[in-house]
Amino acid sequence: MAEVAKREPTTAAVNAGEAAALAPLVDIFETGDGITVQAEMPGVSKDRLNVQADRNGLLLEGDIVIDMPQGIEAVYADVRATRYRRSFNLSGELDTDRIEATLKDGVLTVHIPKRAEFTPRKIEVRVD
């Protein structure tokens, strides 16, 4: 994508003086055992992906790498960046040590489980 994208720098890139990054589109949902983030990162292979998490935040990053013939001239480009980057703040009940990430067909799925003491427990009511 490098060349196709570089021909039309976005204003964000010009202003920031660095390569612009696209914010991948995400679905985020919560279940009893944790939070799942599904991010669209087409063009990113596993070895070009960086997922980082610590107590405060989750960072998703990836480089877009695409087969391009020599001397290609861009005539139209919806995607005008060569990488994705997006971050989220996390909350304390999430256990970042047990985070799981999978990448399939450009969709990154990150599951962050809740610490055991925060998972909802069904309380059985006894009738005496």
Partner 1 sequence: MYGSFYGSFDGGAVNGLRQLESELDQILERWAPSTGIRSPGRGAFPPVNVGFTADRVDVYVFAAGLDPKSIDVTVQQNLLVLSGRRGIASDDTADYYRKERFEGEFRRVITLPDDVDVDKVAAKYRDGVLHVTVQRREAARPRQISVQ
Q: In whole angstroms, what is the distance from residue 73 CA to residue 67 CA? A: 14
Residue 66 in contact with partner 1, rule: CB under 8 A: yes
State the nearest-atom distance from the C-beta of 20 to partner 1, in Å. Answer: 11
State the nearest-atom distance from the C-beta of 91 to partner 1, in Å. Answer: 12
Stretch that binds partner 1, among 53-61, 75-83, 91-99, 118-126 (CB under 8 A): 75-83
Closest to partner 1 by CB, 59 or 126: 59
Going by C-alpha positions, the residue among 54, 51, 50, 59 that lies closest to residue 91 is 54
Count Cβ atoms below 10 Å from residue 92 Cβ, excluding itself. 9
Q: In whole angstroms, what is the distance from residue 15 CA to residue 13 CA? A: 5
Stretch that binds partner 1, among 2-10, 50-58, 92-100, 117-125 (CB under 8 A): 2-10
Residues 65, 43: contact at Cβ < 8 Å? yes
Task: Give the binding-site size for partner 1 (rule: CB under 8 A).
Answer: 42
Residue 101 in contact with partner 1, rule: CB under 8 A: no
Residue 90 in contact with partner 1, rule: CB under 8 A: no
| Tokens matching residue 54 | 């610590």
- Phi/psi-derived region of residue 88, left when phi > 0, alpha when psi is between -120 and 50, beta in every other case: beta
Please pick, from the candidates 6, 19, 96, 106, the single residue that binds partner 1 as defined by CB under 8 A.
106
Residue whose pair of structure tokens reads 């009511």 in the numeric block: 125
Q: Which parts of this chain interact with partner 1 (CB under 8 A)?
A: 1, 3-5, 8-11, 25-32, 36, 38, 40-45, 66-79, 104-107
